[in-house]
Amino acid sequence: MNDLRISFDKNTTDMIKMIEGLHSSVKAKKEALSKLCSEIKLDNIDMNSTISTKLEKLQNDLAAENKIMDTFDEQTQKVKVLTKKMKNATLNISNLEEEKSLVNGKISEINQHLLRIVETRDSLFIVSVRQNLFEKLQIVFTMLNRLQSVSGSRASAKQGRDEEAIIKNDTDQKDNKASRSGKDKGKGVSEEDNDENPILS
């Protein structure tokens, strides 16, 4: 009986030592785990801060890129508009060149008619040429009005009418001189007549 008690006490002592050892081991592991959790929390805070900083930078970069793209789109639209305007301007220039060529042709015809008026002595022919000349002048002045800007269109029309009146007066003077020169059929046109009736160029 006494031996049994001694064995029980020994076993109890061993169990107590084992439990105390386990308690110490668990406590150490718990402290290590708590320390690890604290470190993880700190790392998590740092990582979140880093992610937030990088995310903010990414958002700023994206906003700057969007602004650049908007500016690029705006410039692209301006280039398209300018390209269209350039095409229209080129077309207008081509049309103006054609009209200019027509005007030059009409002016050349007018000069020829003026020469014929100066050199002829037939009054009926002079009347016919005057009518033809007046029609061509109307065409020329119409084209000139189209070639000028809108702001100067009124001044151009007035100038055109003045020029028509001047040319008509010159033509009348040439008719009178041609009628007078008809009396001297063997003679040519005098230098004085040529000076008073210059040819349009």
pLDDT 10s digits, 29-64: 888 888 999 999 998 999 999 999 999 999 999 999
Q: And the tokens for 97?
A: 């060149």
With beta carbons less than 8 A apart as the criterion, state whether 129 and 113 touch. Answer: yes
- Residue 193: the pLDDT is 42
User: 185: which DSSP letter?
Assistant: T
Q: Is residue 66 part of a domain?
A: no
Q: How far apart are CA 55 and CA 101, in angstroms?
A: 67
Q: How far apart are CA 89 and CA 83, in angstroms?
A: 10
Q: Is residue 182 part of a domain?
A: yes
- Residue 159: the pLDDT is 57
To the question of pTM greater than 0.75 for the whole model, the response is: no
Helix axis angle for 123-147 and 2-119, nearest 10°, is: 160
pLDDT lower than 50: segments of the chain = 149-157, 178, 181-201
Q: Is residue 14 part of a domain?
A: no
Q: Is residue 109 part of a domain?
A: yes
Q: Is residue 165 part of a domain?
A: yes
- Residue 27: the pLDDT is 87
Q: How many domains does the chain have?
A: 1
Q: Is residue 162 part of a domain?
A: yes
Q: Is residue 26 part of a domain?
A: no
By residue range, what is the domain housing residue 188? 95-196
